[in-house]
Amino acid sequence: MLFQHLLHQGTGACGTVRLNRRGMPTFPKKMKRGEVTFRENGTQLAVKCQDKRDVNFLTTVHPSSMAQSGRLDHFTGEPACVLDYNKKMGAVDRADMITSFVDCARKSTKWYKKLFFHLLDTAVLNAYTVHRKLSEERMPYKDFRLKMVKELIQEHPLPRRSTGGRPCVNTPLRLTGRHFPSFVPPTEAQGQSTRRHCRVCLYTTRRKRERKLTRYMCSSCATALCPAPCFEEFHTLKNY
């Protein structure tokens, strides 16, 4: 059985089970509402509860004990495994609901890809949960995913496909547009020799900052930049 294999690997488990599964013990077919029956073999505990319908559990991490459920119609309590399962499954159901709105997998996706995307969605949701606990910033889950994707792509850009035999150039997503250097527009005071402070030299975090004047700028970004290396750094590095 799966639970026995997991137990041998050092992993406990608890969940619902069908009584006709191989290795399951026998239980009374007719039980009164609220009645509970335990079957134990030393390592695994099987439980049958009679509520509005039969509820069957198998666990390797719970004792055969009852706990208070807080429900007025259950004075004797419920099995500890049932209460623990319902508590944990509430969080699982909520996680499934959240990820279902932005699920990466599709119906046509092969099973192993679905498994990968499910683990990916779970990891992202865990990161979102940690972010909410550690940060005062509050953002919707969808916005968190989009922001995370953009930052990952900026940090790990894919090489652009070569066209016309030219070498590939690594370009972040936000910089896929073409950028060309041009001269800073002349002013009445300075004329053709007009200069402006290079933005990279002024705000860089990679080296000592300096107030350096330049005649060049990016025509698309309208930002003054030294032709080298600032022009390239500004358009390829997230933190220049």
Mean pLDDT of the 68-87 span: 72
Tell me the per-residue pLDDT of 95-141, one tens digit each, with 9 for 90 and over.
Answer: 777 777 666 656 667 888 888 888 888 899 899 999 988 988 888 88
Which contiguous run of DSSP H or E holds residue 83? helix 80-100
- Between 220 and 208, the higher pLDDT residue: 208
Alpha-carbon gap, residue 148 to 137, rounded angstroms: 14
Mean pLDDT of the 42-70 span: 86
Other residues' Cβ atoms within 10 Å of the Cβ of residue 53: 7
Q: How confident is the model at residue 173 (pLDDT cuts 50, 70, 90)?
A: very low
b/e sequence 2-12, b meaning 16+ C-beta within 10 Å? ebeeebeeeee
**pTM flag (> 0.85):** no
The full length of the chain comes to: 240
b/e sequence 13-41, b meaning 16+ C-beta within 10 Å? ebeebeeeeeebeebeeeeeeeebbbeee
- Backbone phi, psi, residue 181, to 5°: -75, 150
pLDDT of residue 70: 64
Tell me the per-residue pLDDT of 143-167, one tens digit each, with 9 for 90 and over.
Answer: 888 888 888 877 766 655 555 555 4
Where in the chain are the domains? 2-82, 101-152, 176-236
pLDDT of residue 39: 92
- Between 99 and 203, the higher pLDDT residue: 203
